[in-house]
Chains A and B, each alone.
Chain A
Amino acid sequence: EIVLTQSPGTLSLSPGERATLSCRASQSVSNNYLAWYQQKPGQAPRLLIFGAFSRATGIPDRFSGSGSGTDFTLIISRLEPEDFAVYYCQQYGSSPLTFGGGTKVEIK
């Protein structure tokens, strides 16, 4: 099983700042099949990024993904008020599919 470790656990930032979220895998993610999801309180998650760097439909370009192998990054270039949420990475390259523990981006 591939274990995904997200860091930091909590990121305290102000609107307009840049957020950098990390997702590290215990072994290489096949085909860089790594996705990022956003979840707000009381809501279902939303797909942001798949294939490590491809934005999902309707996702603004301030969200970008990068990385390969075992190290992946989600960058939010300028935080908007609606971006404060919990972010999860997921590898879907091999079974069992696994999620990271999440990074909470909170308002400073």
Chain B
Amino acid sequence: EVQLLESGGGLVQPGGSLRLSCAVSGFTFSSYAMSWVRQAPGKGLEWVSSISGSGGVTYYADSVKGRFTNSRDNSKNMVYLQMNSLKAEDTALYYCAKDKGFGVLTPIDYWGQGTLVTVSS
């Protein structure tokens, strides 16, 4: 059974940093790309970033480029999202998600339950 468990969310001040983690099990981790998708309270889905199965290719939304870093440790079955220079508009539920393929241009077939990030003073 595929399982994705996010952690690391919380309350942070504007300009601060936070690191989200996602522990994965139930599939051959290194064979699949992984994504982060966020959803602001009461709003729609926003793709944040994707990383290929090897970790060699990463894509970012323009809204987070230069501030967020997506990485993975295939030896630990973990994905991370380092978020720096946080803004109020980054407040959202952040989903860790498994992509359907190895490359970054694939749909998402499994989602975690999300971890809430609140950016406020």
Which A residues have a C-beta under 8 Å from some C-beta of B?
A: 1, 33, 35, 37, 39, 44-47, 50, 56-57, 88, 90, 92-102
Number of interface residues of B (CB under 8 A): 23
- Assess whether B60 is interfacial by the CB under 8 Å rule: yes
Does B9 sit within 8 A of A, measured CB to CB? no
- Does B87 touch A at the CB level, under 8 Å? no
Partner of A93, one of B45, B46, B105: B105
Give B80 Cβ to nearest chain A Cβ, in Å: 19
Contact B46 A99 (CB under 8 A): yes
Counting from the closest, the 7 A-B pairs by CB-CB distance are A44-B111, A35-B107, A95-B59, A50-B107, A97-B47, A99-B45, A102-B44
Contact check, B105 vs A33: say whether CB atoms are below 8 A apart: yes
B22-57, CB < 8 A from A: 35, 37, 44-47, 50
* Interface residue B11 (Cβ < 8 Å from any Cβ of A): no
Cα distance A88–B50 in the bound complex, in angstroms: 18
Interface 0/1 of B78-121, CB less than 8 Å to A: 00000000000000000100001000111111011110000000
Whether the Cβ atoms of A95 and B105 lie closer than 8 Å is yes
CB of B44 within 8 A of CB of A47, answer no
Whole-angstrom CA separation of A92 from B105 in the bound complex: 5
Residues of B within 8 A of A (CB): 35, 37, 44-47, 50, 59-62, 95, 100, 104-109, 111-114
List the B residue with the shortest CB-CB distance to A30: B105
How far is A44 from B46 in the complex, measured between Cα atoms in Å?
13
Q: Which residues of chain A come closer than 8 Å to B44, judged between CB atoms?
A: 88, 99-102
Closest Cβ of chain B to A49, distance in Å, is 9
Picked from B62, B106, B113, the residue with its CB within 8 Å of the CB of A92 is B106
B62 proximity list for chain A (CB < 8 A): 1, 96
Q: Which of A44, A95, A100 contacts B114 (CB 8 A)?
A: A44
